[in-house]
């Protein structure tokens, strides 16, 4: 999720109809600049090469999880229909095929491997979901910081990972206590801005991404 305020100006974003290596490109109505969601950077227009600010507030969840929190939610009905049973994305998520057969040369992970990804200090990073189920602390090799990533084992791909920047001395230690401290707002830790996607979608645009293992 990105902040709409850019250089002191609030922008209104919409789908541009274009893709960059199979990933969505947005455009803003005010400057007609084009923005890659995988780089958080404008790739053309008046604000070319301007970075967006990522916000650590996005959270993916299933409908069941959402309605449990917000039971009075209203559902948009289109011509009396609230749900499309033949969802065109179902086959995409069930298969190992990439969007429109996109091929990436980086074989460090299978193309459709679910990953958590983020940008930090100008670098791109990714970690496979399977590498931090139950929680894991990764040494970034950057100053004195580490990253705590957490997913419950067996958690649906539709749900968001938890990510925090933690002191570098935490690397290799038990995650349970540090996770609890991070969730409670310990000032020594902070939410990390990132999101979950597939490996091929990320590395096709961020070719120099580090892979946390």
How would you classify the pairing of strands 190-191 and 114-120? unpaired
pLDDT of 172 > 70? The answer is no
Domain ranges of the chain: 5-44, 99-211
Mean pLDDT of 159-166: 91
Which range of 15-24, 82-91, 122-131, 180-189 scores highest in mean pLDDT? It is 122-131
Instruction: Classify the C-alpha dihedral 45-47-52-58 as positive or negative.
Output: negative
Distance CA 52, CA 34 (A): 12
141 pLDDT tier (thresholds 50, 70, 90): confident
Convert the pLDDT of each residue in 40-85 to its tens digit: 889 999 999 998 988 766 677 778 888 999 999 988 888 877 777 7
Mean pLDDT of 146-152: 93
pLDDT of 116 > 90? The answer is yes
What is the reported pLDDT for 155?
84
What is the reported pLDDT for 96?
86
Mean pLDDT of 130-142: 89
How would you classify the pairing of strands 5-6 and 9-10? antiparallel
Distance CA 28, CA 41 (A): 12
What is the reported pLDDT for 42?
93
């Amino acid at each position: 999720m990105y902040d709409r305020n850019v250089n002191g100006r609030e922008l209104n974003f919409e789908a541009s109809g274009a893709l960059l290596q199979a990933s969505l490109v947005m455009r803003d109505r005010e400057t007609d600049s084009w923005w890659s969601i995988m780089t958080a950077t404008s790739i053309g227009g008046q604000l070319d090469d301007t970075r967006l600010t990522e916000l650590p507030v996005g959270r993916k969840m299933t409908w069941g999880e959402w309605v449990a929190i917000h039971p009075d939610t209203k559902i948009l009905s289109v011509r009396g229909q609230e749900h499309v049973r033949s969802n065109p994305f179902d086959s995409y998520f069930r298969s190992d095929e990439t969007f429109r057969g996109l091929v990436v040369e980086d074989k460090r992970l299978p193309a459709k491997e679910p990953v958590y990804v983020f940008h930090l200090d100008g670098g791109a990073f990714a970690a496979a979901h399977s590498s931090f189920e139950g929680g894991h602390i990764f040494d970034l090799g950057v100053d004195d910081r580490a990253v705590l990533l957490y997913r419950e084992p067996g958690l649906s791909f539709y749900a968001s990972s938890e990510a925090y920047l933690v002191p570098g001395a935490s690397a290799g230690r038990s995650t349970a206590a540090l996770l609890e401290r991070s969730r409670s707002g310990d000032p020594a830790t902070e939410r990390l801005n990132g999101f979950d996607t597939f490996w091929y979608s990320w590395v096709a645009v961020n070719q120099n991404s580090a892979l946390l293992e």
